[in-house]
Amino acid sequence: MRQVWVLVVVACGGGGATPDAGTFDAADATLDAPVAPTDAARDADEDSAVDRLCGCLRGAEGSYTLTLDTTGALPDVLTELSGLVTSRFDDTIFWAHDDSGGEAALYAIGDDGSLRATLPLPVDNRDWEELARGPCDDTDLDRSCLYVGDVGDNDSVYPSVRVHRVREPDPREPIRDEAVVESMELTFPDGARDTEAFVVDDDGTLVLLTKRPPIGHFRVYTARFVPGTTATSIFHDEIALGPANRASMFTAADFLAESAGSAADFAPSCEVLLGRHYLGAFVTFASDLTRLDEEALHPVPVERERQGEAIGFTADGYRHVGEGSRAPIHRWRCVSR
């Protein structure tokens, strides 16, 4: 598997409300995480990670900072956004969807919040929680397809989850053709898992990052996307959101309730994994996504949101959007310093 940069986002799907730490089973929680590092240590780690990330995205090594623009607000059609990915046709447009209860459709949104296109999909939206980019077939080097994850399972009761694949239309043009969707069904080898993040590598392999159980960790599974089949994913590892991703102003119970994997993105040209959780975001540089290291989850900045469930790379940084009516669109850009 190729080395990648991935962004993991943590969020709660389906319910809309931030989870209450008291509703979780203590058996799923680990309270012995190390004490958070000092601000100076965290800042140094963040600066180094930002330099490495931005140097790759911008194609020039150097010293960088990330600056925030709030570019617009979501249109009314999206009230519980749970996945986004930048269009390959235009960096100022991203595709997004609502989670459970929303329409079974993908929406192309401009950075200014304008609705640019709507792509209905002829499948159900049981609990859509993730949107990723990947290849349409073994020869597709442009990664021309969008993968929709109907993978949410807040109560861990579904015997299987589904992933759908559709070729991305150009959102700058009217969409006249009906979407042709390929789908597969997935099970987990160790029981149902609430899964709200995945990425797709260049070989068409799904790398799934679970939200829970257990709380405060994410588990890594893989499965090859083969349309029309049912497959059992392969478990690889369980990763704790380590000390760099703990905010000192929150209690241990807050951290456990608020931190879990719920969205991810993959920048193949930089081989980077970028991730988000309610208390922040991180990047990790991994040669093998099945062997991640919690000590190498480097924090990167995000704007606080009501409920952050979606994040995605852009040509010069990344953007993220939370849930709620008219939620603001936050875009972070790499700027030399």
Provide mean pLDDT across the span 192-200: 92
CA distance 22 to 105: 34
pLDDT > 90 in the chain, percent: 59
User: Residue 213 has what DSSP assignment?
Assistant: S
User: In angstroms, what CA-CA distances link 260 with 116, 177, 183, 216, 275?
Assistant: 32, 38, 26, 5, 10
The pLDDT-based confidence of 10 (bands split at 50, 70, 90) is: very low
The pLDDT-based confidence of 293 (bands split at 50, 70, 90) is: confident
Task: State pTM to two decimals.
Answer: 0.85
* Burial class, 48, CB count within 10 angstroms (exposed 0-12 / middle 13-18 / buried 19+): exposed
Q: Is the pLDDT of residue 29 over 80?
A: no
Q: Is the pLDDT of residue 32 over 50?
A: no
Average per-residue pLDDT for the chain: 83
Q: 44: helix, coil or strand?
A: helix
Which domain covers residue 169, as residue numbers?
4-336
Tokens (6 digits) for 101? 């209860």
- Give the pLDDT confidence of 155-191 residue by residue, as tens digits: 999 999 999 999 999 999 999 899 999 999 999 999 9
Q: Is the pLDDT of residue 262 over 80?
A: no
CATH code of the domain covering residue 290: 2.120.10
Amino acid 240: pLDDT: 84
Q: Give the closest residue to 332 by CA, choosing from 270, 283, 269, 287.
A: 283
Least confident of 110-124, 152-166, 253-267: 253-267
What is the domain count for the chain?
Answer: 1
CA distance 333 to 55: 12
CA distance 63 to 194: 38
